[in-house]
Structures are given as structure tokens and as C-alpha cells.
Amino acid sequence: MDRKIILVADKDRTTRKILKAFLESKGFRVLEAENSKQIRQLLAEDDPQLLLMDASMAEKNGLELCQELRQCSQIPIVFLSSANTIDEEIAALEAGADAYLGKPFDVRELEARVRAILRRVAEKSFKEGIIEYPLLHIDALKTGP
């Protein structure tokens, strides 16, 4: 079975380690990033299926980074934020996030959201006739070269 890769991006090392341990215990492979440069690098190198990102990343605002990523990627993005206001949640969703969780959050809710988003993405790809494996992308609905 192919383990889904989740990129956990948070400036706080302890938060990253806790999320990594929890998600790995649930069968996911987890990558860690502490800033926007590392996020971009890991997105290019390892092709994670989901990004969990703190709204206040080091060196770049999480909302700006989300908008920037949406220009070149459709990776699902879940914002994690200690601000936890309705205005920030709306801003995150408008910037391109797929979900928003205020800190502190229940890890069971996080797991449920992650699985729901990954399931939705997989179903969409299947309906669109797209089959993907590492280093292989097949679009069964595309015709011609």
C-alpha cells in the first residue's frame, strides 16, 4: 500500500514533532518544514499529497504563501492557526486553503479532515480518468500526443 505523504509546516519545532508522531502512527509518511523556502523545496522534491501549514510561517505570511502556491499547485492545504478568528479563517479559505483548524485542536478532528480531503482528491482524480504513480501520470481521457 502506498503511504500518503503529508508536509507539516510550522515554525515551532515541538508542534511539528507532535504532528509528525501522530500522523506517522496513523500510517502517513510525514515531511517537516519550518519556513517557506523549505516548503517549496519539499513540494518540488517529494510531491506530498497534502500540506498542513501554520498561518504564521517564519519569513512569509501563510496567507501570502498559500496564494503563491495556488499559482502553481493544487495540493490540498489545511491551515493551523492559534489566532483562531472567523476573519482569519475566511481569509485562509479565500486565499486557497481547503480547511482551517484553530489551535488547540483535537488530533482526531485533524485526522478526519486529512482523510476526508485525501479521499476527495483521490475520487476527483479517478473521475477525471487520471491515474498517478511515482514518476508516472496517465490521463485516460486525454486524446492525442
What structural domains does the chain harbor? 5-139 (3.40.50.2300)
| Burial tier of 107 (Cβ tally within 10 Å: 0-12, 13-18, 19+) | middle
6-25 pLDDT tens trace? 999 999 999 999 999 999 99
66-94 pLDDT tens trace? 999 998 888 999 999 888 789 999 999 99
Element spanning 115, H or E: helix 107-127
